[in-house]
Amino acid sequence: MASATTGTQAVRDTVSLLSGIWCDILGRGALNPTDSLLDQGADSLAVARAVARVKAEMKVAITARAMFETPTLDALARRIVEGEFHAVPAGDSAVLPAHSTRPTSPQDWMLRFIKRAETNPPYGWVQICLEVPAHFSRATILDAVEALADLHDAFTFGYAETSDGWVATRGRPSVELTDLDIRTASVAGMRAALAEAVRADIDRTLPIAEPPPVVLRLAPATGGVRLLAMTCHHLAVDAWSFKRMAGDLAGLLAGHEPLSSSYQEFMDWQEFQRATGAHAEQLAWWASGLHDALPVVLDPETRDRHVPDVHGPAAVLGTDLSAHAEAVLALSNARRWTPFNTLLASFALALGRHVGRDDVVISVPTAGRPEARFENVVGYFANSMLLRIHLDPRERFVDIARAAQEVYLDGIEHPVPHWDEVSRESIGSEDLGLVKFEVDQVNDPSTVQHVPSRPLRLTSLAGPRPSRPDLAVTLSLRDGLHARVAHRPETVRGAIAQALTGRLGEVLERASREPTIRVGEL
pLDDT in tens, 363-394: 998 877 888 888 889 998 877 889 999 999 99
Do 402 and 288 sit in the same domain of this protein?
A: yes
Instruction: Report if residue 87 sits inside a domain.
Output: no
Q: What is the pLDDT of residue 264?
A: 87
Task: Report the interhelical angle of 419-427 vs 278-290 (nearest 10°).
Answer: 60
* Total Cβ atoms within 10 A of residue 23: 14
Confidence of residue 98 (pLDDT cuts 50, 70, 90): very low
Domain of 14, CATH number, reads 1.10.1200.10
**Nearest to residue 153, comparing CAs of 127, 171, 177, 175?**
171
Domain of 238, CATH number, reads 3.30.559.10
Do 300 and 404 sit in the same domain of this protein?
A: yes
- Answer whether 316's CB lies under 8 Å from 455's CB: no
Sheet of strand 214-218, all strands in order from the earlier edge strand to the far edge: 175-179, 214-218, 225-233, 125-133, 456-459, 448-449
Question: How far, in Å, CA of 314 to CA of 311, rounded?
Answer: 8
Do 489 and 353 sit in the same domain of this protein?
A: yes
Range of the domain at 404: 278-442+464-521
Instruction: Report if residue 271 sits inside a domain.
Output: no
Cα-based distances in Å from 216 to 130, 177, 276: 10, 5, 42
pLDDT at 455 over 60: no
Do 259 and 338 sit in the same domain of this protein?
A: no
Instruction: Report if residue 372 sits inside a domain.
Output: yes
Instruction: Report if residue 406 sits inside a domain.
Output: yes
Q: What is the pLDDT of residue 354?
A: 92
Confidence of residue 453 (pLDDT cuts 50, 70, 90): very low
Give the strand pairing for 165-170 and 157-162.
antiparallel
Do 424 and 283 sit in the same domain of this protein?
A: yes
Which has the minimum average pLDDT: 63-67, 140-144, 152-156, 420-424?
A: 420-424
Confidence of residue 459 (pLDDT cuts 50, 70, 90): low
pLDDT at 207 over 90: no
pLDDT at 142 over 70: yes
CA 227 to chain centre: 25
pLDDT at 214 over 60: yes
Instruction: Report if residue 86 sits inside a domain.
Output: no
pLDDT at 100 over 50: no
Give pLDDT tens digits for 404-450.
999 988 888 887 767 777 887 777 777 787 899 988 753 333 333 44
Do 141 and 199 sit in the same domain of this protein?
A: yes
- Answer whether 60's CB lies under 8 Å from 54's CB: yes
- For the chain, what is the mean pLDDT? 82
Higher-confidence residue of 290 and 93: namely 290
Do 363 and 498 sit in the same domain of this protein?
A: yes
Q: What is the pLDDT of residue 146?
A: 94
Q: What is the pLDDT of residue 301?
A: 77
Question: How far, in Å, CA of 289 to CA of 283, rounded?
Answer: 10
Do 250 and 373 sit in the same domain of this protein?
A: no
Domain boundary among 41, 65, 81: 81
Give pLDDT tens digits for 147-195.
999 999 999 998 888 887 888 888 989 999 999 887 776 777 777 788 7
Task: Give pTM, 2 decimals.
Answer: 0.82
Do 436 and 317 sit in the same domain of this protein?
A: yes
**Nearest to residue 162, comparing CAs of 112, 75, 203, 103?**
103
pLDDT at 93 over 60: no
Do 433 and 403 sit in the same domain of this protein?
A: yes
Instruction: Report if residue 300 sits inside a domain.
Output: yes
Question: How far, in Å, CA of 206 to CA of 35, rounded?
Answer: 49
Question: How far, in Å, CA of 311 to CA of 468, rounded?
Answer: 6
Per-residue b/e over 62-91, b at no fewer than 16 CB within 10 Å?
A: bbbbbbbebbbbbbbbbbbbeeebeebeee
pLDDT at 40 over 70: yes
Do 257 and 333 sit in the same domain of this protein?
A: no
Residues 6+ away with beta carbon under 8 Å from 266 = 374, 377, 379, 381
Domain boundary among 263, 293, 328: 263
Do 359 and 482 sit in the same domain of this protein?
A: yes
Domain of 393, CATH number, reads 3.30.559.30
Q: What is the pLDDT of residue 506?
A: 94
Instruction: Report if residue 44 sits inside a domain.
Output: yes
Instruction: Report if residue 102 sits inside a domain.
Output: no
Q: What is the pLDDT of residue 462?
A: 44
Query: Based on the structure, what is the number of domains in the chain?
Result: 3
Question: How far, in Å, CA of 3 to CA of 441, rounded?
Answer: 43
pLDDT at 321 over 80: yes
Q: What is the pLDDT of residue 306?
A: 45
